[in-house]
Amino acid sequence: MPDLTNETNQTNEIDPPETLSGYGAKRRTALSCMAWAGAGMLWTLSGGVPGSKLLSGTAQAAEVDRHAFSFVQISDSHIGFSKDPNLDPASTLKEAVDKIRASNEKPAFMIHTGDISHLSKPGEFDTAAQIVGSAGLDVHYVPGEHDVLIDDGNSYFERFSKPADKKWYSFDQGGVHFIGLTNVLNMRGGGLGFLGDEQLAWLKQDLTRRSSSTPLVVFAHIPLWSLYPQWGWGTDDSAQALSLMKRFGSVTVLNGHVHQVAQKVEGDISFYSAMSTAFPQPAPGTAAGPGPMKVPADTLRTLLGVRSVNYVPGQMELAIVDTRLSV
Partner 1 sequence: MSLFSTLRMARIATLLITTSVAADSAFADVGPAAAVVIDNFLFSPAQLSVAAGATVTWENRDDIPHTIVNDATPRTFKSPPLDSGEKFSEVFIKPGTYRYFCSLHPHMTGTIVVK
Interface residues toward partner 1, by CB under 8 A: 83-84, 118-120, 145-146, 149-150, 187-192, 194, 229-232, 287-292
For partner 1, the closer of residues 83 and 246 by Cβ is 83
* CA 163 to centroid of chain Cα atoms: 23
Identify the three-state secondary structure at position 219: strand
Identify the three-state secondary structure at position 81: strand
For partner 1, the closer of residues 191 and 313 by Cβ is 191
Rounded Cα distance, 261 and 31, in Å: 10
Identify the three-state secondary structure at position 236: coil
> Of the candidates 263, 319, 254, 320, which has an alpha carbon nearest to the alpha carbon of residue 46?
319
For partner 1, the closer of residues 290 and 313 by Cβ is 290
- Considering the complex, what minimum distance in angstroms separates the CB of residue 157 from partner 1? 17
- Partners of residue 83 on adjacent β-strands: 86
> CA torsion, points 191, 142, 221, 175, in degrees to nearest 10?
120
For partner 1, the closer of residues 55 and 150 by Cβ is 150
Q: For the chain, count helices (H), then strands (E).
A: 9, 13
For partner 1, the closer of residues 145 and 322 by Cβ is 145
